[in-house]
Amino acid sequence: MQVDFNSDMGESFGAWTIGDGVDNELMAFISSANVATGFHAGDPGTMRRTIEQAKQLGVAIGAHPGFRDLVGFGRRHINAAPQELVDDMLYQLGALRELARVQGVALQHLKPHGALYMHLARDEAAARLLVENLQRLEPELLLYCMPGSVICKIAQELGQPVIREFYADRDYDL
């Protein structure tokens, strides 16, 4: 068994700074980073700088797409049809993938953020549509999810590789 020390990164955007340099200090201690992709946090410049630092330190990166919720930091549930949610996630994935590709870095994983992560843990239609699209676009891309969640079961059923994760302070009743 391997242990992956994973952290959310690159959550500043525009004039708003989150963490005041904590990303820079923390990056040296993790093995993978979830890079905010602009809808809940992050912006293109922050994404680029986060990728540069991860590359320098040998930290794997993944897309961290969220609901369209900059004001609520992606923690508020947004009602949307499964296709709209998946379109938004693919848009964010593509943005990070291209910024990484310019630097010769491949994405290792995708980990939805906040309320979107919890939505996909329960919503079969959205979870299935996302995994089906990943199978067409990035069949080797690791998908971070909670064990026993709907998205984890669907990913395993369809052959998308998963990383089962946990939070020490989270309730896992789905």
Q: Is residue 174 situated within a structural domain?
A: no
pLDDT tens for residues 47-75? 999 999 999 999 999 999 999 988 888 78
Q: Is residue 149 situated within a structural domain?
A: yes
Q: Is residue 1 situated within a structural domain?
A: no
Q: Is residue 38 situated within a structural domain?
A: yes
pLDDT tens for residues 99-114? 999 999 999 999 999 9
Distance CA 156, CA 53 (A): 32
Q: Is residue 66 situated within a structural domain?
A: yes
Domain count, the chain: 1
Q: Is residue 172 situated within a structural domain?
A: no
Query: Which domain does 159 fall in, by range?
Result: 6-164
**Kind of pairing, strands 60-64 and 32-36?**
parallel
- Nearest of 12, 56, 63 to residue 33 by alpha carbon: 63
| CATH code of the domain containing 82 | 3.20.20.370
Q: Is residue 44 situated within a structural domain?
A: yes
Sheet holding 6-9, edge to edge: 6-9, 32-36, 60-64, 107-110, 142-145, 162-164
